[in-house]
Structure 1
Amino acid sequence: MMFVTYAKPLVGARRGLAPTGSAAPGVYPLTEVLLRDRLRRQRQCRTARRNIIANLSSEQSRKKHTVVPITTRKHIEEAIRDGTLDQLKLNPYELPKLNSDYLRHPLMEELGNDQIFISDDCIGLIKFHGGYLQDNRDQRVRGELKKYQFMLRLKMPAGECPPSLYTTLDDISETYGNKTLRLTTRSSFQIHGIHKSNLKTVVQSIVRAGGGLYGASGDCSRNVIAPPAPFVDAAYAQARHVARMVAELFAIQSHAFADLWLDGELAASIEYWKKELDMDEVRRLMTEDNGRGQVLQDSVEPLYGKLYLPRKFKVGVTVPGDNSIDIYTHDIGIVVFCDAQGQLEGANILVGGGMGRTHNKEETFARAADPLGYVPAAALYDTLKAILAAQRDHGNRAVRTNARMKYLVHRLGIDRFRELVKSYMVGGGSALESIRSMPPWTFQDYLGWREQGDGRWFFGLYVQNGRIKDELKKALRALTDRFNFPLVCTPQQNLLITQVPATARPDVETLLASFGVETAASALDPLMRDAMACPALPLCPPAITEAERVMPRYVQRVRELLSKVGISPHASFVMRMTGCPNGCTRPYMAELGFVGSGPNCTYQVWLGGSPMQTRLAWPYIDRVTDDQVERVLEPVFVFWKSAREPDESFGDFCDRVGKAQLEAYAQRYWDGVPAAPVS
């Protein structure tokens, strides 16, 4: 006779077999029959997963394609056991994770030395703690040490920011940073310009204010986003709740953060979003072992293990019809459904989205997510754990540029990937149903005044490219000091001021106006309103060229070009820019995307995305220099004006006519040849 403990496990503990003997309180007998059945199910799951991968390898071997070496977690574990790890193809980030003692070393030692930078091995580790090593390229001097500094990114599920945390961030940016705050496309804040010697002080200040950094970056589940609008509607409330739950379900469990930044002491103040959760229930869901390989035999990281994930992992939650989060760009997209009583009924799950790619490497690409299926509420978190486990175990750890889950979904195809996920689920995935029908998606930026539904209002404040600085920064601090309104960061790099009583609306507008802040969303050029750019130069290490600093000028140039060819000054489309192909502002979903491809404002131009962000764009021209932009876009705009269907958006038009017709029209346009009819 053997025994299994059904008592609530500690965080990170694996519920397993107890020693034989008399049953203790909370310990119940597990017969040999049940044990054999459990082991049989585990073998069946492993066999099914091997068959899925083996069939894929056999099929792909018959195709002509770029060969990408693949190393999985299983390969690494076998190599460790056999003593052949040095012979295994691994990307440079895997061994530092493996040897770090769960994200501690050598980062702990390097944070205490006198250098102003950290080593390459630590660059990957500090990301798990919310930090990035940067240097200011505007201040580089040949032959001198780079001007190293750090950026810190916060973890803020659903983008929610208490006023006390905002004032802390504002103080930090003035005292230790570059006197700006940066909103991100994942509904969070970044602080730039922090010197290494001040990192610990800054981190402790953020933690004391109830903020979090752990898991904001790194090879783990990053900030979980949701529609920013604080509607009290049941579906929106459930979306925010699920976002908080997933943030904690997939949270890093190692105490390395406390050891490095808090002198080993757990934070005295709880992270603010946890106050909305039943943390005992979260721990139960995290460590609950269904016997199908979701939970690892790892007492520290039951879902991640020592290797964590192969790459970043992004989750977004929304409600049917609201695409304010770019639902197709996430590793996991969750669309919640509620019943008549406002309780969570279930969710549609999408998988395999992601924007990052590398120029001139066709084996890397942007990808829109595929529908996985619908699951009832009772099976939601089991399904999410199964998806994470599939990527953890089968994602590629040999080539980092092919490590995101989108490449696993692409290699397998959605049907085989679905079978892989089901092999990790309770009952072999019997709860996974066909996707539920949904209303058409609409893109929302939530600027201006709107009712929350509880008698209060929220105000969507436009923040150009997410940079809070100068008078806008002063205005927000004055507003927070006076009114203490909670804030919400949006995926469009804007900010919502929430829980505003109707009587306070005039006071809010008056205060903002006193700092010269425009409060009428209608006063914005619609092109600028829909535009986004990443920080890029001078601080972002991967940046090839400019983005944030030149985007306003590019918007103005596009507006002038539209006016030149006779298109309405109210015409608009989604325009996004990045300084490199990583795609942080999701330019591959835009109607017009500029992707940095060379120095001095050289870009790859993408066209054909959907105005509702439901379709991938495609590359129109690989390299356009700054002085060629008008020549490239003018014939495209003329073609749109002359051949579009009634109310046809720019992106829909480009997608309908296609690249070949656009190129042919442009050639005839500059040659002075009459245009051929659209086929």
Structure 2
Amino acid sequence: MSTLEIDRSRDVSQPLEKLGPDETLKANSDQLRGTIAAGLEAELTAAVPGTDIKLMKFHGVYQQDDRDIRDERRRQKLEPAYRFMARVRLPGGVLSPAQWLKLDELGRAYGNNSLRLTTRQTFQFHYIHKKNLRTLVQGLREVLLDTRAACGDDSRGVMASINPQLSALHAQVHALAKQASDHAIPKTHAYEEIWYGEERKPVNGPEEPLYGKTYMPRKFKIGFVVPPINDIDVYAQDLGFIAIVEDGKLVGFNVAIGGGMGRTDQAPKTYPRLASVIGFLPADKVLEMCDATMMVQRDYGDRLDRARARFKYTVDDKGLDFIKAEIEGHLGFKLGEARAYSFTSNGDPIGWTEGEDGRWHYTLFIQNGRVSNFPEKPLLDGLRAIAERHKGMFRVTPNQNLIIADVAADDRPAIEALLKEYRLDGLNAGTGLRLNSMACVALPTCGLAMAESERYLPDLITKIDAILATHGLSEEPITIRMTGCPNGCARPYIAEIALTGRAPGKYNLYLGGGFHGQRLNKMVLENVGEKIILEYLEKVIGHFAKDRLEKEHFGDFAIRAGYAAEVKEGRYFND
């Protein structure tokens, strides 16, 4: 089947009267147009009225409000301080210095003098006023960027592994990720009409030949990884492509399906799941695989219960063999036997790394992805100065860090001088725990957050680091991730230590995840505060320092020593 000939013969979408409210909204949205354009012009509110805020997610825009001042504004009988978040579509996290400078300009003008690197290798702007949304989106267009399909029930931004030492191979995989992103996003012209002011154009045939009128049941995430570094956490993807390299050449991919992190507390029917490897695919069949897998989820995904609408539940409910057979039916051929591969970590090589082509790459640790001018660390200014001088590219890593990539040997001293001038060379001097940490944005902007995350994790790490230091473990690489709610945006359920918010100052504590993302962790404490968390970690860390095996990782020890039960399948996560 050609990727241009979308097969709808197996489309088993429900009639409108049997759809949930979100599905009905999409079906009646005129292919994501709704009344968004009118809502952007409404002057009596800083919000977009009605249900259009849900449709705007397909355009990469979330409506939020400043929760730090929500109660005060309520007391003053004022509407919430509505602002917007806009997420850039940036396949594989690669951008040019010119694109960085435009992002810097827009972040200073409309995003509270800040940029946010995300866990899916892209950028978010926060605190945008409604009146500035179109200006920001049109500014992105000037450097060939957009926010299309960065959110919503569609194919989200496509991730791609970044290993600076494998420069040529990375470039090949990134090119495939870019093709997959461009191929899998919605085809509706609504984005151009609403944000660029273009006229509506007539369409021959369905405006969305793959998505139809109701798009996907929920978000759908695609990623490409190059072993041995599992930096994209491929097992957390709905559809993962694991590069198979033979004699230095890319021959194809092992395909993994059904990964996903989100869950809901007190809802045992929801759980994280690691993707299952189902076979080998030739490299020239990637786009066909994207179509086939998305069509199976489109047709069989749950459109009544959004809490069970992700592909991971479709795989478990229908059975892996059934889903694989349906995918192969759309492909028109069977997948080969999965080939051997191995991972060693899911972290980033911090500092300078030389690529196989002799060019240099500097990975800069950016705590929780926040790019701003901090006291004594003018990060925003320093990266702007580097972008003005840099002749190569930038790469956002899946761990919220930034690579100043493709630096010629002769240009390296100039980059080093700028890093020193702006005091950025000290950002990489963190402990093994800090350099392997991630947090979601959470409060004050995320409407789903129940506790702090980005603003709190650095201080908590300092306290855990003090415990590690007493046992001589400051340099030990341990993955730690925190989210303000159980939805899992920072991929917490595969970290060796994870905390998810339950209420202000209260978290669930999880231990036992795999060091390279190969195993889910397990909850060991529920709804507890910092004092109890630190006391528990002090006990486990002390035991780890005393009785660990040679080269044993913290997550492996937590299971072996009986602190956390091993989770063999996601559906047993809550047992």
TM-score by length of 1: 0.78
- Which residue is 2:402 aligned to? 495
- Residue 326, structure 1, aligned to residue 233, structure 2: yes
**Whole-angstrom CA distance in 2 between matches of 1:607 and 1:553:** 20
Contact 2:13 2:299 in 1 (8 A): no
Residues 536-551 of structure 1 mapped to structure 2, 5 A cutoff:
536-551=442-457
The secondary structure found in structure 2 opposite 1:185 is: coil
**Whole-angstrom CA distance in 1 between matches of 2:86 and 2:127:** 9
**Whole-angstrom CA distance in 2 between matches of 1:556 and 1:591:** 17
**Whole-angstrom CA distance in 2 between matches of 1:15 and 1:584:** 31
- Deviates most, 626-635 or 316-325: 626-635
> Amino acid of the residue matched to residue 341 of structure 2?
M
What is the Cα deviation at residue 14 of structure 1? 5.8
**Structure 2 spans left out of the alignment, 5+ residues:** 567-575
- Which residue is 1:122 aligned to? 52
Cα distance 1:568–1:390, how it changes in 2: closer, same or farther (>3 A)? same
Matching residue within 380, 396, 399 for 2:302: 396
What is the Cα deviation at residue 324 of structure 1? 1.1
The secondary structure found in structure 1 opposite 2:330 is: coil
- Which residue is 2:94 aligned to? 160
The secondary structure found in structure 1 opposite 2:207 is: coil
- Deviates most, 350-359 or 412-421: 412-421
- Deviates most, 447-456 or 461-470: 447-456
1:20-50 deviation per Cα after TM superposition (whole angstroms, max 9, x unaligned): xxxxxxxxxxxxxxxxxxxxxx98xx5xxxx
Contact 1:357 1:365 in 2 (8 A): yes
Residues 183-222 of structure 1 mapped to structure 2, 5 A cutoff:
183-222=117-156
Cα distance 1:120–1:330, how it changes in 2: closer, same or farther (>3 A)? farther
What is the Cα deviation at residue 628 of structure 1? 2.0
For this pair of structures, how many residues does the alignment match?
555
**Whole-angstrom CA distance in 1 between matches of 2:31 and 2:564:** 51
Contact 1:458 1:496 in 2 (8 A): yes
Structure 1 stretches of 4+ with a deviation exceeding 6 A read: none
Contact 2:361 2:405 in 1 (8 A): yes
- Which residue is 2:275 aligned to? 369
**Whole-angstrom CA distance in 1 between matches of 2:271 and 2:196:** 40
Cα distance 1:412–1:619, how it changes in 2: closer, same or farther (>3 A)? same
Residues 422-441 of structure 1 mapped to structure 2, 5 A cutoff:
422-426=328-332, 429-430=333-334, 432-441=335-344
**Whole-angstrom CA distance in 2 between matches of 1:642 and 1:364:** 37
> Amino acid of the residue matched to residue 495 of structure 1?
L
Cα distance 1:634–1:422, how it changes in 2: closer, same or farther (>3 A)? same
What is the Cα deviation at residue 196 of structure 1? 0.3
- Residue 136, structure 1, aligned to residue 70, structure 2: no
**Whole-angstrom CA distance in 1 between matches of 2:398 and 2:147:** 18
The secondary structure found in structure 1 opposite 2:241 is: strand
Matching residue within 253, 262, 265 for 1:359: 265
What is the Cα deviation at residue 144 of structure 1? 2.0
> Amino acid of the residue matched to residue 178 of structure 1?
N
What is the Cα deviation at residue 442 of structure 1? 3.0
> Amino acid of the residue matched to residue 263 of structure 1?
G
What is the Cα deviation at residue 128 of structure 1? 1.0
- Residue 513, structure 1, aligned to residue 425, structure 2: no
What is the Cα deviation at residue 520 of structure 1? 7.3
The secondary structure found in structure 2 opposite 1:346 is: strand
What is the Cα deviation at residue 230 of structure 1? 4.6
What is the Cα deviation at residue 173 of structure 1? 1.3
What is the Cα deviation at residue 510 of structure 1? 1.4
- Which residue is 1:552 aligned to? 458
- Which residue is 2:29 aligned to? 100
Contact 1:335 1:349 in 2 (8 A): yes
Cα distance 1:162–1:233, how it changes in 2: closer, same or farther (>3 A)? closer
Max Rg structure:
1
- Which residue is 2:538 aligned to? 634
What is the Cα deviation at residue 89 of structure 1? 5.0
The secondary structure found in structure 1 opposite 2:162 is: coil
Matching residue within 297, 300, 314 for 2:207: 300
1:39-66 deviation per Cα after TM superposition (whole angstroms, max 9, x unaligned): xxx98xx5xxxxxxxxxxxxxxxxxxxx
Cα distance 1:75–1:13, how it changes in 2: closer, same or farther (>3 A)? closer
Matching residue within 492, 508, 511 for 1:607: 511
Matching residue within 546, 551, 559 for 1:655: 559
Contact 2:161 2:231 in 1 (8 A): yes
Contact 2:216 2:298 in 1 (8 A): yes
- Residue 454, structure 1, aligned to residue 383, structure 2: no
Contact 2:88 2:145 in 1 (8 A): yes
1:471-491 deviation per Cα after TM superposition (whole angstroms, max 9, x unaligned): 000000111123344211110
**Whole-angstrom CA distance in 1 between matches of 2:564 and 2:142:** 57
- Which residue is 1:224 aligned to? 158
Cα distance 1:104–1:456, how it changes in 2: closer, same or farther (>3 A)? same
Contact 2:167 2:356 in 1 (8 A): yes
- Residue 645, structure 1, aligned to residue 552, structure 2: no
Contact 1:200 1:261 in 2 (8 A): yes
The secondary structure found in structure 2 opposite 1:254 is: coil
Contact 2:481 2:499 in 1 (8 A): yes
Cα distance 1:382–1:101, how it changes in 2: closer, same or farther (>3 A)? same
The secondary structure found in structure 2 opposite 1:645 is: coil
Q: Name the Cα RMSD after superposition.
A: 2.4
**Whole-angstrom CA distance in 2 between matches of 1:655 and 1:348:** 28
The secondary structure found in structure 2 opposite 1:323 is: coil
1:414-464 deviation per Cα after TM superposition (whole angstroms, max 9, x unaligned): 2222122222221xx33x122111134433403211122223211101111
**Whole-angstrom CA distance in 1 between matches of 2:31 and 2:137:** 19
Cα distance 1:615–1:486, how it changes in 2: closer, same or farther (>3 A)? same
**Whole-angstrom CA distance in 2 between matches of 1:409 and 1:388:** 12
1:511-543 deviation per Cα after TM superposition (whole angstroms, max 9, x unaligned): 12111212573x221211111111110001111
The secondary structure found in structure 1 opposite 2:160 is: coil
**Whole-angstrom CA distance in 2 between matches of 1:314 and 1:345:** 23
The secondary structure found in structure 2 opposite 1:611 is: coil
1:170-210 deviation per Cα after TM superposition (whole angstroms, max 9, x unaligned): 11111112111000000001111110011111110111121
The secondary structure found in structure 1 opposite 2:538 is: helix
Contact 1:609 1:616 in 2 (8 A): yes
Cα distance 1:482–1:346, how it changes in 2: closer, same or farther (>3 A)? closer
What is the Cα deviation at residue 231 of structure 1? 4.9
1:584-626 deviation per Cα after TM superposition (whole angstroms, max 9, x unaligned): 1111000000111112x21000100011111111111111112
Contact 1:13 1:300 in 2 (8 A): no
Cα distance 1:460–1:147, how it changes in 2: closer, same or farther (>3 A)? same
Contact 1:448 1:519 in 2 (8 A): no
Contact 2:264 2:486 in 1 (8 A): yes
Matching residue within 312, 328, 346 for 1:406: 312
**Whole-angstrom CA distance in 1 between matches of 2:564 and 2:67:** 39
**Whole-angstrom CA distance in 2 between matches of 1:261 and 1:440:** 42
**Structure 1 spans left out of the alignment, 5+ residues:** 1-5, 17-41, 47-72, 267-296, 663-679
**Whole-angstrom CA distance in 2 between matches of 1:233 and 1:204:** 32
Contact 1:461 1:519 in 2 (8 A): no
